[in-house]
Structure formats: C-alpha cells, structure tokens
Structure 1
C-alpha cells in the first residue's frame, strides 16, 4: 500500500514518498523520496516500505507489551512481599502491654527473621531499586531528548492520515455518496460513555438487555434498558487484557478470553450477579476468537499460539481436539449453518476449511486455500458462501462452493473502503434476519446488504478517526455498539429504515 503524497523537501520537486527510515540514530526526515536516499547512505538497510513499516511498528508494540508484563510481574512480587509486613504496619506500640507471652514471642521471632534478611537481602534489594531507578531515569532522559523529533513525526503522521483520508474520499463512493434511501444506523449521542482505557471486546446478550465490555482487565456489565446503559457489576478475575466476549443464548452464561490464554465461563445466579464458574487454560497465548454451536455443547477457540481447539460440554468444558495446521495467529473462526464446517483465517495467508467427520468423530482439514494477503476477518453467509476481508486494499472476497468439486473458490470481489488493517478482533458478523454483513476494515465499519439476486451492496460505511476500532452488532441487527482509540467513546447506533 502506498500513500500518494509528495516529499516536503523544497529542492526535491514534489517527488512521491516511497518509504520510511527506521534507523534509531537518523536525524533526517523519516519519510523519503528517491532524492532523499543519498542522505541516508550510511544506513540504507534501514530504509523500509510502508507495508514492512507496519510490521516493524507491530513488533515495537509487542516489545512494549513485554516490558509491561515484566513490570507487572515485578509489581505483583513486591505486593506479595509488602503483604507479609502488613500486620506490623498496623501494630500500635502503645498496646504492647496488652499482648500475651506467646504473642510477644511470635513477634520477636518474626522481627528477628526480618532483621536477618535486612543484613544481606534487603541491602541487595535496595541496590536493585537504585539500579532500576537509574535505568528508568536514563530511559526518560532519552525520551525527553526525542520530544522535538517525536513532535515532528506526529506532524508527519497527521499529514499522512489527512492525505490518505482525502485519497479515500476521492476513490470511495460508498463514503462520499451514501444512498439517502438506504437503511442506516444512526448514532444515539446521548447514550455514549467515555472510557479512556482499552475496550477491545464488546458483546450483547440474546435479547439486548445486557451489554458486557472488556475494559482492560475488567469486565463491566451494563443493563441496556430504554436504550440507556447502566453499570450493574464489575468482574475482576482476569489478570490481563480481555480480547473476546460471547454471551450464550440458551443459558445465563457468557465466555471471556484474555491476552494470556485464559478462557473464563461466567454464570448468573438467582440474585442476577455474575460469577466465574470455570477457568480454562489450554492455549499458551492470547485468545483471538470463541464461537459456539446452536446447541451450545461445542465450543471452538483460536489463539496467537496458532492453534484451533474444539471443546465439548460435559459437567465442564473439556478440550477434545486441537488443529495445528496454521503457522501463525488464528484471528477468526466461523461455523456454517449446518454446523459441520468451520473456516479460519489469520496471519499466515491461508484459509482452512475444517469439516466434521461422522465416521471418525473428528474435525478434519479438508481444504487449504492459499491467499495473497493476511486477513483478520472471515464469515459464513450460508452453507455454500463465505466472505473474507484481506488486510490490504479495498476489496472483500466472496468464496462459493463449487457444486462439482465441493471446494470453495473465490467468485467475486466486493468493493469496500481503501485501507490497510493493522488490528484484529471485531469479528465479521452476518445478521440473517436482515441479510446484513457487518465488516470492519481499517477505519470503517461496512454494512453490506445481501440482495435477493445474490449480490452484495455496501449500504453504509461508518467512518471513524482510528483503525483501533472494536464492536459488535446485536443478534437482531437493531443496534451496533463500538469503541475506538480516537473518541474513547462507547457509542451505540440504532437501525433506521430508509
């Protein structure tokens, strides 16, 4: 993907920007045209295209995540140590005379042990703190020295985004020329909720009476009544960011998955309070997608560990089978209407078609579709059709089953907004009741109608100011709820017929 923007060096005759420099010591402009290349001669190997720049940025973000996790582990260890000293913080020396002999002896023994530790271990701990503080100060100093440079980068990014937005508006009739007679989803501004953290998982229950939000490590449960959200409970069992939420339709339960691979099952009691009823740890990395069959006795999960796992419900959920054919993260799964096939997509440029074998009582990969781009989103429309959204470009692909070979092949492209998607989650949905496909791509949520003559038409393209965009459509298609990095708002849109 390339932005059609020109170099801002006065003597470079408005040449087009062709890439960016990622050398840490570089003091030149990060964006470069052909005439800029000689000024980067000492680190030509650090010049990169925009496509590979996104990968480099993602790796940087993962590094920061790793630092955050290590800092959190250290904090947990310190909290554990401090908890051992809490009884002594609250000790009132004036009440010493009221202690019994055994209590005094225990106090003396405890303080003696602490004194022994203080001689060596506490000295080492203080030295570590001093070293840690020195390292932190050095990091902050480097960041501070880069302030002007960072401001310059931010200004460039703003120009890039604005030029990109202008380009999209020129090339994308679905954004520029919405059909006034089409059905649309209208924002209900009065119902928006400000949330400054990260909300990457959102779910409606079956009758739109309850909404669950994954807010960092917390799950916030809201009552949705008269189109207003009211907070009723906060759940804090997860130890890392929540990435998936799914309400069950037959029981008062829902599922949540987080960034360290935990799946939690939540059940509602007679007092309308949610409690964790089962904790599952089989995946070794982030949970990306959870889906259930209609009977809700089969659960299928995918993860950053490249695995797809199939679970069956006994007294508790038990892992029955693992598919390991993907080579990288598996972002989304979708189950067909007949519930005998699952499709998957992710970061390894392949789509798997997995079918249940009645004879072997197992799920088997029956087709591996090689594609030209990674993709985070895939969705069955019916038993014979599914859509796949590549990360790059302005096309969504439709795959249909060949009646003779019984294999899926790409049969047409659906034009959507131009862009390059950088984040997963926010899975595609097909709302059968309204024959409506909900698909996020880059900074847009595209609402695509399947017509009576089997065509797919973009009915509405909702533009946001950030590609960090998450949400879900209610099962009946009446409400769309989203959160995005830019506005930091939980927003609800309501279906309105044209």
Structure 2
C-alpha cells in the first residue's frame, strides 16, 4: 500500500468521525488535514529494501512543532465540540419534554375515553340464583385478576372457589389459621395469595396439583391485622394491626420484616398505596391519618405528615398520587383530601354525601377505586355506595345498595364487572354484575 492510499484511508476515517461537526469545523479542517499529511506514515507490512529507493523522502517534523499544531487544533475544536454537545443536550431535553407531554396527553385521552365509555347510568344487579349460603362469619373476599378464582373467609378457614359461567364452585378448604381471617389478597404476577388471621400472615402458593399450600408464615404482629396491601412489583407487603404498628415486609429469599412504623397510638384500621408506590396513607382509632413516604436514598419509610380528624374511620384510598378519600365512622359524608402543589401537604377539600343508615361503619371492607370505570366502592354503615368520579373531579353516588345490617364484607373485581359480598342479614355470598343502561 503506497503513501497516497494510506493517506486516503486515514482521510476517510477522519471524515467519518467529523461528519456531525462539519458545519462547525470548516475553519479548522484544513489544519487537521495538513497536519495528517505531514506525519510520516508507516505501512502495515514491511517494505522490501529495493522499494525504499523509489519512495521520496518524507518531511520530518520536530516534536515541538507537532505539539504546537496539535494544541492549536485542540483549542479550535474543543469549544466547537462543547457547543455541539450543549445544543445536543438542549435538543434531547426538548425531545424528552415533548415525549412526557405526549404521554400525559395519551393518558388523558385514555381517561377521557374510559369515562365516555362508562358515563352512562349503571346498576349492579344481583344474580339471585348464583348466591352461596354461608352462616359462618365472612370477613374478607378476594377475586383474582381474570375473575376465574374467588377466596372467601369462613371464620378461621378460607374457602377457595372456581368462578366459571358466573357460578361459584368450592374446590378447597384451607385451615392453617388459628384465628378469624380478616384479610385476603391475590398476587397478580404469580400463583400466590396472602391471608392474615390474628397477628399472623400466611403466604400461600399453588403446588403442581393446583392445590394451595402454605409456603411461609409471618408472625411479627402481636394481634389482629386489619389491613394489608402489596406493591405492584409484589416484593413489598404493608400491614396494619391492632397492635398500633404498620409493618413493611421485604421479599428476599423469604419474606422478612424490614421496618416498623409506631406513630399510631391506637388500632391501625386502613392502608392504601399510591400509584407511584412511594407513599402510604393509614388511618387509625387515634383519629390520625398518616402520610408515609419512602426516601429515595435509603428506601426507608418516614412519616411526613399527620392529619388529625374529628372522627376516626376504617377506610381510605389513594385515587391518584395527589388525591385520596376517607370515610369517617358514622358520618354520611366522605372526605376528599388533595395535595398542595407548593408544600406537598394534604388537606381536606370536599365532603361528599354518602348513605349510611347506621351510625357505625365497621371494618374489613376496604375502599376500592376501579380506574377503568372511574368508580369508587365505599362501604358505609348498612350501605355499599358506588360513586363515580366525573371529568370535573366531582364524586357522584350512582347506586347505593342497602343490606339492612352493618356486617357487610366483600370486594369488586379488578375490571369492575362483579361485586361480591357477604352480609350478616342474608348470610349469603352474593354476586352482583355491572349493567350499563
């Protein structure tokens, strides 16, 4: 390979590297090119001795002159490259902002579409022939993500049902708990569910024979657990108990208690986790609502706000990151709290009229918000109130189901198609189905 070929190859590589900076480097390109042309280039393969005679002598450069030229090139190119980098950063920021705005726009479209699809009047109608008689106390019901399986407590036991063609068929009876079971939570990413009875939490797994078996027991609480929630990744469990504590459980090889919050001075009644998974709200019989936030650095949960209420309640729920609802006991109003954008503190903004028919609200029937239907499920006294949130963020009760007794427990399916309940008066597990008029 001759000198001209080597120089051409190097020139092509230089052109390739500097293509993005061409408009900025016109003034310095000739200097770089000249500098490269003056360098003594060594062929890749040894050149035969008789060939050396025909190669003209190359100009020799002194080391100081090479340094001088190199420094001049660097001084010219460096600010140009920095300018290009700054422009590229600014461009990337603008693109990212546009992407975020587009995502928010798409989310708003989805919310608006969901509301438009579900803005017509609706009722949940009882499927009368599909009820299951149960005289024993049923303090919790859970429905899995595809509505194919249902769990229901029966005093200290758990009944497992197959839900097919809107009929419940019992397939298993679980008897590991020694106290009345108060909470049931299906996992969505794996074939597991969580139950609590007394101060004990049990993690259940499905074996190869499609039978539920106990895989781990957690015994840190000293008395009844009233509320239990899990994060979306299903590696954190949060539990609130009559022992006045909130415990955080971390999934490692096994579940372990990683932190305990002791700011409540009476029974912890309700818990809810926000969409971003970095805040938990709790309510207790000490007439306090706690706002608990996870620190970004050490991942520890810290109480960042305490809200005093006149009457304690058992139910609260994050509608979104900036808004949550709270149902005080014996009140025919539900409170709506919103976060102040400046100080990040929550305060009560609205009171929504809800039916009760009884001066107590009793526990174990958590609030739910079904985003797909913009629908809040709020048990209060003798009633289960089904409340729609409209585009103006107003909460309007669409249906109130009166059970004639304060002992009502249940859950709505994730898609909002079914509401399953047990109440003391009927002593039945009842199924109601969504019907849009």
TM-score by length of 1: 0.63
> 1:271, 1:435 → 2: CA distance?
38
User: Which among 301, 304, 313 is matched to residue 239 of structure 2?
Assistant: 301
Name the structure with the higher helix share. Answer: 1
Matched, 1:391 2:366: no
Question: Corresponding residue for 2:402?
Answer: 463
User: Which among 292, 313, 316 is matched to residue 254 of structure 2?
Assistant: 316
> 1:457, 1:377 → 2: CA distance?
18
> 1:495, 1:261 → 2: CA distance?
36
> 1:340, 1:388 → 2: CA distance?
19
RMSD of aligned Cα (Å): 1.1
> 1:405, 1:240 → 2: CA distance?
44
> 2:351, 2:290 → 1: CA distance?
19
Matched, 1:490 2:429: yes
CA apart distance, 1:422: 4.6
> 1:361, 1:396 → 2: CA distance?
32
SS in 1 for 2:183: strand
> 1:452, 1:309 → 2: CA distance?
36
Q: Which structure has the larger Rg?
A: 2
User: Which among 296, 307, 315 is matched to residue 369 of structure 1?
Assistant: 307
> 2:359, 2:281 → 1: CA distance?
22
> 1:226, 1:182 → 2: CA distance?
25
CA apart distance, 1:360: 3.0
CA apart distance, 1:290: 1.0
Question: Corresponding residue for 2:182?
Answer: 243
Moved segments of 4+, more than 6 Å: none
> 1:408, 1:314 → 2: CA distance?
33
SS in 2 for 1:433: helix
CA apart distance, 1:271: 1.2
Question: Corresponding residue for 1:450?
Answer: 389
User: Which among 124, 128, 142 is matched to residue 189 of structure 1?
Assistant: 128
Q: 1:360-391, CA deviations, whole angstroms, 9 ceiling, x for partnerless residues?
A: 32000000000000100000000000000000
| Structure 1: stretches of 5+ with no match in the other structure | 1-180
Q: 1:342-377, CA deviations, whole angstroms, 9 ceiling, x for partnerless residues?
A: 000021111000000012320000000000001000
User: Which among 153, 157, 171 is matched to residue 214 of structure 1?
Assistant: 153
SS in 1 for 2:139: strand
Matched, 1:275 2:216: no
CA apart distance, 1:420: 1.8
User: Which among 199, 224, 231 is matched to residue 261 of structure 1?
Assistant: 199
Alignment coverage as a number of residue pairs:
318
Question: Corresponding residue for 2:165?
Answer: 226
Matched, 1:286 2:224: yes
> 1:426, 1:392 → 2: CA distance?
15
| Structure 2: stretches of 5+ with no match in the other structure | 1-119
